């Protein structure tokens, strides 16, 4: 459930091992879905790249609820790409063109394929955490920003310690940004029909303060 009126069907795996973080729907992913539904017009006719898509919650929300021109789902293992393909197939038909790409932020050859693709927006949620190669992600964002200057939307929980380090790296690369607190009730409401299940599977909806960072060079 994204809002009390809108929902999306996704397959996820609640128990996973290190390196399989993309198999779960993360609360920041739910937050970007809610943001997208509240700001549909922003994406009309646009091409959007989702980095570290995981289950695909952000990009598939764009596919289902907006009139985006194109969405590109991406992640770094064949296993997660297979999950993305399955989750895409669970969505109703849509006019939005959808593409899925293997993009590993740590391997430049895997993201060179993006240089010639039109990208108006980059979205990424819950990609800045201890152990994530966010320094490489910053390099990828810098290269894309230099080539096409997309608007980059990243949601990071305020509580995340390594966020400051990521921001330092982004500053060093010359990025500016704005911060928007996503503190409307919309962002903390239950994500499953049953409140208890929602609290059990997505506790962060109640405990995390989501911040939307919009970066540009």
Ligand X SMILES: C[S@@+](CC[C@H](N)C(=O)[O-])C[C@H]1O[C@@H](n2cnc3c(N)ncnc32)[C@H](O)[C@@H]1O
The answer to whether 151 and 216 are in contact (CB under 8 A) is yes
Contact of 149 with 217, CB cutoff 8 Å: yes
The one segment of 51-59, 157-165, 178-186, 208-216 that binds ligand X by CB under 6 A: 51-59
**Closer Cβ to ligand X, 176 or 180, answer by number:** 180
- Segment interacting with ligand X, rule: CB under 6 A, options 25-33, 59-67, 189-197, 199-207: 25-33
Q: Does 104 bind ligand X (CB under 6 A)?
A: yes
The C-alpha angle with vertex 198 and arms to 195 and 200, in degrees rounded to 5, equals 110
Q: Minimal CA–CA distance to 122: which of 169, 62, 206, 81?
A: 62
How far is it, in rounded angstroms, from Cα 150 to Cα 189? Answer: 30
Q: Is 72 in the site for ligand X (CB under 6 A)?
A: no
Token couple for 186: 């919309």
* Under rule CB under 6 A, residue 201 binds ligand X: no
Q: How far is Cα 160 from Cα 166, in angstroms, rounded to an integer?
A: 10
User: Is residue 100 part of the contact set for ligand X (CB under 6 A)?
Assistant: no
Q: Which of 46, 52, 61, 121 binds ligand X (CB under 6 A)?
A: 52
Is 150 a binding residue for ligand X by CB under 6 A? The answer is no
Shorter beta-carbon distance to ligand X: residue 120 or 126: 126
Task: State which of residues 59, 101, 126, 166 lies at the interface with ligand X (CB under 6 A).
Answer: 126
């Amino acid at each position: 459930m994204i809002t009390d009126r809108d929902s999306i069907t996704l397959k996820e795996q609640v128990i996973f091992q290190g390196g399989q973080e993309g198999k779960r729907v993360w609360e920041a992913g739910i937050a970007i879905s809610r943001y997208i539904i509240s700001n549909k017009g922003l994406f009309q006719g646009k091409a959007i790249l989702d980095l570290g898509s995981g289950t695909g919650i952000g990009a598939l929300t764009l596919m289902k609820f907006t009139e985006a021109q194109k969405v590109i789902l991406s992640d770094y293992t064949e296993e997660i790409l297979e999950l993305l393909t399955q989750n895409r197939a669970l969505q109703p038909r849509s006019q939005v063109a959808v593409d899925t790409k293997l993009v590993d932020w740590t391997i430049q050859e895997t993201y060179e394929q993006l240089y010639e693709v039109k990208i108006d927006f980059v979205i990424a949620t819950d990609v800045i955490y201890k152990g994530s190669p966010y320094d490489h992600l910053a390099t990828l964002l810098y290269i894309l920003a230099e080539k096409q200057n997309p608007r980059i939307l990243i949601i990071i929980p305020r509580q995340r310690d390594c966020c400051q380090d990521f921001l330092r790296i982004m500053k060093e690369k010359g990025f500016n940004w704005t911060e928007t607190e996503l503190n409307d009730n919309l962002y903390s409401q239950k994500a499953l029909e049953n409140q208890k299940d929602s609290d059990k599977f997505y506790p962060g909806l109640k405990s995390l303060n989501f911040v939307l960072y919009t970066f540009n060079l």
